[in-house]
Structure 1
Amino acid sequence: MVNTPPSSSTVSRTVLLLLRVLIFVFLLIALILIAIVKQTDDQTGAEIKFNDIYAYRYMISTIIIGFAYNLLQMAFSMFTVVSGNRVLSGDGGYLFDFFGDKIISYLLISGSAAGFGVTVELGRGVPSNSFIEKANASASLLLIGFLLTAIASTFTSFALPKKAN
């Protein structure tokens, strides 16, 4: 019995699947954290939630879009690793992976930046509280999701078809 090392394409498919699972986990936790954020105003008694602040609405929108795209790509990656065949064959499939990863990564970084920006503004002159800390944690996890998606984009760029000029 000869032990042959797995091919580089098998390794990269497996690494890409692992990245997709990590992105899924980080985006899920970020979604849960921002969704449970709420605080009661001491002066008025009004309850403030994430959907009362436009930047947090944008942040949760980018998380949901990234989550849905990543779920689709995770299913495609699982199919590819298990069967050895791609769901979207041909040049179009590789281009979809590459440009999809690029677009989603840019959405994720913009959502993270919006979350960080409003969290800093809300926290000015206010003692630290759970509302600000949870929102900041969610934006941080979204930033990690962006970084992992950018890395996945690098892996998908290696698979792009080589065209002669």
Structure 2
Amino acid sequence: MVDNSSPSSSTVSRTVLLFLRVLTFVFLLIALILIAANKYTNDETGDKVKFSDFYAYRYMISTIVIGFAYNLLQMALSIFIVVSGNRVFNGDSGYLFNFFGDKIISYFLISGSAAGFGVTVEMFRGVPSNSFSDKANASASLLLIGFLFTAIASTYTAFALPKKANN
């Protein structure tokens, strides 16, 4: 007798992958809001500083936007697969797209996070932290967490490749 009450491992994997993509989406959205709204005015001199004054922060926001766009596409594809049970791409092309896309985007996200952390540490070395540096670090931290979820999703998509190559 076959027990049909428990979901198949591929259904669980698809659901976990969708959950990872939703988490990535949330963390990238918050990171984007934090860095884009990050401004600081020095009370003593009146100088105004914003994220766009620094190339590293501009690079960081670019990686967030690229990761965000890719993640939106993947979320839409994942929702379609979970709801319909059908794949959008036929053959191995969908698995390869997921695998290589997740790898490339995860590398973008980690490089953006590293750039944000690096410039913040260098700019505020020996200076007491302020709201600008705290928000920049928070955004870089959220971007790092987004990278972790994308890297985990990449591992799931890597496991799907050999299964499909053997079938």
TM-score of the superposed pair, with normalisation by structure 2: 0.93
Number of positions where the alignment pairs a residue of Structure 1 with one of Structure 2: 163
After TM superposition, the structure 1 stretch with the greater mean CA deviation from structure 2, 45-54 or 66-75, is 45-54
Q: Which amino acid aligns with 1:96?
A: F
**Match of residue 134 from structure 2:** 133
Q: Give the gaps of 5 or more residues in structure 2.
A: none
SS in 2 for 1:96: helix
Counterparts of 1:91 and 1:150 in 2: how far apart (Å)?
20
Give the structure 2 partner of residue 38 of structure 1: 39
Gaps of 5+ in 1: none
Shift of 1:43: 4.8
Deviations 1:8-61 (CA, angstroms, capped at 9, x unpaired): 000000000000000000000000000111111345423110000000000000
Displacement of 1:3 after TM fit? Answer: 4.9
- The alignment's C-alpha RMSD in Å is 1.4
> How many Å separate the matches in 1 of 2:45 and 2:5?
69
Q: How does 1:15-94 map to 2 (within 5 A)?
A: 15-94=16-95
Q: Which amino acid aligns with 2:47?
A: A
Tell me how far apart the structure 1 counterparts of residues 45 and 108 of structure 2 sit (CA, whole Å). 35
Q: How much has 1:123 moved relative to structure 2?
A: 1.4
Moved over 6 A (4+): none
1:158 is aligned to 159
TM-score by structure 1 length?
0.95
State the Cα distance separating 1:87 from its structure 2 match. Answer: 1.1
